[in-house]
Amino acid sequence: MLKTSAPFSKPLYVMLKPAGSTCNLACEYCYYLQKKELYNESRQQILSDALLEKFTEEYIASQTSQEVLFTWHGGEPTLRNLQFYKKAIEYQNKYARGKMIDNCIQTNASLLTDEWCAFFKKNNWLVGVSIDGPEHVHDYYRHGIHGEPTFQKVISGIELLNKHRVQWNAMATINNYNANYPTEFYHFFKEIKCNYIQFTPVVERLSTDEGNMLSANNNEKPNELAPFSVKPQQWGDFLCALFDLWIKEDVGQVFIQLFDATLANWMGVTPGLCSIDVRCGHAGVMEFNGDIYSCDHYVFPEYKLGNIYEKSIVEMMYGQRQLDFGRAKQETLPEQCNSCEFLFACNGECPKNRFVKTSNGDKRINYLCEGYKKFFHHVSPYMDFMKKELMNQRAPSNVMNELERIKRENI
Determine which one of 291, 296, 324, 362 is catalytic: 296
Q: What share of the chain is helix, strand, coil (3-state, %, to 5)?
A: 45, 15, 40
Helix (H) or strand (E) holding 68: strand 67-72
Q: What is the DSSP letter of 302?
A: G
Alpha-carbon torsion, ordered 141, 146, 152, 158, to 10 deg? -80
Helix (H, G, I), strand (E, B) or coil at 197: strand
Q: Is 296 a catalytic residue?
A: yes
Strand order across the beta sheet in which 196-201 lies: 255-256, 196-201, 168-174, 126-130, 100-107, 67-72, 13-16, 283-286, 291-293, 304-307
| Measured distance CA(288)–CA(38) in Å, rounded | 12
Alpha helices by DSSP H, 192-342: 232-249, 257-267, 313-317, 320-331, 335-338
Q: How far apart are CA 117 and CA 120, in angstroms?
A: 5
**Closest-CA residue to 109 (of 181, 174, 194):** 194
Count other C-beta atoms under 10 Å from residue 149's C-beta: 15
The secondary element (H helix, E strand) that includes residue 196 is: strand 196-201
Residues marked active site are found at: 296
